Amino acid sequence: MLYLIYASKEAAIERADEEGKELGFDYWIEDNGQGTRWLTYPNETADHMWALDVTNYDLDESEESSTVDHYTPLPDPDDD
């Protein structure tokens, strides 16, 4: 798996939106707020950054050089 790490959730979603548009997902075609919007959605990391799975994204050279192959997710706050 390849991830890009973003400082904010908004920045990560912006990149996810860009890929969703590029792939032609229904949300971006119908313009009715319905349908698949993203290929992947960011998850918060242990240090409160946002990791976006870009394994199947079309990355530019700058992005390719910035990918990481793992991240530490937030600790599980559940009680089980």
Partner 1 sequence: MHVSLDSALGRQRRLNSVGESVLQIASSAAAAYSLRSLTGGDPVVVRVRRSSNDAEQDFTSSGVSSGALVNFVNEIQTLGTVTNSSGNNGFTLTNTSSTGFTATTDTATGVCGWPYTAKAGDKITVSFDAVIRSGTPQFLPRRATALSSDNLASVVSDSPLSVNSTASYSFEFTYDDDQAGSLTFSEGDDNADFDISNFQVTVFKGAGLVETWYDQSGNSNDAVQATAGSQPKIVNAGSFLNELDFDGTDDNFELTSVLGMTSAGAIFSVAESGGGNDKLILDNRDSGVDGFRLMRFNNELQYRWQSATAATSTNPGTNTKFIAFANHDGSNASAAVNGATATTTSDTSSISVVAKPHIGARSFSSAANFWDGTINELIIYNSDQNANRSALQTNINSHYSIF
Residues that bind partner 1 (CB under 8 A): 23-27, 34-41, 43-44, 53, 56, 73-74, 76-80
Nearest residue (CB) to partner 1, 7 versus 46: 46
Q: How far apart are CA 16 and CA 70, in angstroms?
A: 18
Instruction: Tell the smallest beta-carbon distance from residue 44 to partner 1 (Å).
Output: 6
Report the 10 Å Cβ neighbour count for 26. Answer: 13
User: Structure tokens of 7?
Assistant: 């400082």
Instruction: Tell the smallest beta-carbon distance from residue 22 to partner 1 (Å).
Output: 11
